[in-house]
Chains A and B, each alone.
Chain A
Amino acid sequence: DTAVSQTPKYLVTQMGNDKSIKCEQNLGHDTMYWYKQDSKKFLKIMFSYNNKELIINETVPNRFSPKSPDKAHLNLHINSLELGDSAVYFCASSQEARGNEKLFFGSGTQLSVL
């Protein structure tokens, strides 16, 4: 069983389109994250949700809107896609309530905006 799964794995789209990436974790964790990895492999946090509540919201354009329908899911919706949005997006989860900072990452969604 995949612990943190995200779909799709690849996403190729045109500038200006709206797209969503879905993430699900079956670890029973209470906290989920979205990270962006650029072409130089630099990893930067975008959002963090704890029990469906937004905890971390970095300086991300408001075209990016996370949604957490429940503790096990954190989706990322992106409006009006731009060339600079091309990157690999990673979902991750952790169990904050037990003071465990270990992050479990999904395998990533490679977004290419043409």
Chain B
Amino acid sequence: GENVEQHPSTLSVQEGDSAVIKCTYSDSASNYFPWYKQELGKGPQLIIDIRSNVGEKKDQRIAVTLNKTAKHFSLHITETQPEDSAVYFCAASIRAAGNKLTFGGGTRVLVKP
């Protein structure tokens, strides 16, 4: 089955700096890669996603890049703000196999004011 690894497990940045989280996946058939943000005491919330036919996608301060050959994808947050502090999860799935998302282990991001 699919295996998703996520690094780093914790990330501390100064407000205004950029944050980058990297994930690798094992199943080359995976074609959908979402990122979820989980705030304390809440459920994960989708912040951005990318499909395998696209190399990069941007939404305001967040962007995701995908390298299918290397089976890597990354989340980039620019101009970080204290409200960006949360746990971020990457995930991967094979669309044709239903919506069985395999999540990475999570990255706890702390943005210091």
Choose, from A41-49, A70-78, A79-87, the stretch at the interface. Answer: A41-49
Contact of A103 among B38, B101, B105, B108 (CB under 8 A): B101
B99 and A4 within 8 A (CB) = no
B45 and A56 within 8 A (CB) = no
Interface mask (A75-107 → B, CB under 8 Å = 1, otherwise 0): 000000000000000101010100101110111
Q: Write out the residue numbers on chain B whose beta carbons fall within 8 Å of the beta carbon of A44.
A: 103
Q: How many A-B residue pairs have CB under 8 A?
A: 61
Distance A108 CA – B38 CA, assembled complex (angstroms):
11
Most chain A CB inside 10 Å of its own CB: which residue of B42, B101, B103: B101
A92 and B43 within 8 A (CB) = yes
B98 and A107 within 8 A (CB) = no
Minimum Cβ distance to chain B for residue A54 (Å): 11
Interface mask (A54-78 → B, CB under 8 Å = 1, otherwise 0): 0110000000000000000000000
Q: Write out the residue numbers on chain A whose beta carbons fall within 8 Å of the beta carbon of B41.
A: 107-108
Q: Write out the residue numbers on chain A whose beta carbons fall within 8 Å of the beta carbon of B64.
A: none
**Chain B facing A: main interface SS:** strand
Distance A55 CA – B93 CA, assembled complex (angstroms):
15
Interface mask (B25-54 → A, CB under 8 Å = 1, otherwise 0): 000000010101010011111100100000
Minimum Cβ distance to chain B for residue A114 (Å): 21
Q: List 25 A-B contacts (CB under 8 A).
A: A31-B99, A41-B87, A41-B108, A42-B103, A42-B105, A45-B100, A48-B100, A50-B98, A56-B100, A90-B44, A94-B99, A96-B98, A96-B99, A101-B93, A101-B101, A103-B34, A103-B36, A103-B46, A103-B99, A103-B101, A105-B44, A105-B45, A107-B43, A108-B41, A108-B43
* Top-3 shortest CB links A-B: A105-B43, A43-B103, A41-B106
Given contacts A33-B99, A102-B49, 5 further A-B contacts (CB under 8 A): A4-B43, A45-B102, A50-B98, A101-B34, A103-B36
Give chain B's interface residues, CB within 8 Å of chain A. Answer: 32, 34, 36, 38, 41-46, 49, 87, 89, 93, 95, 98-103, 105-106, 108
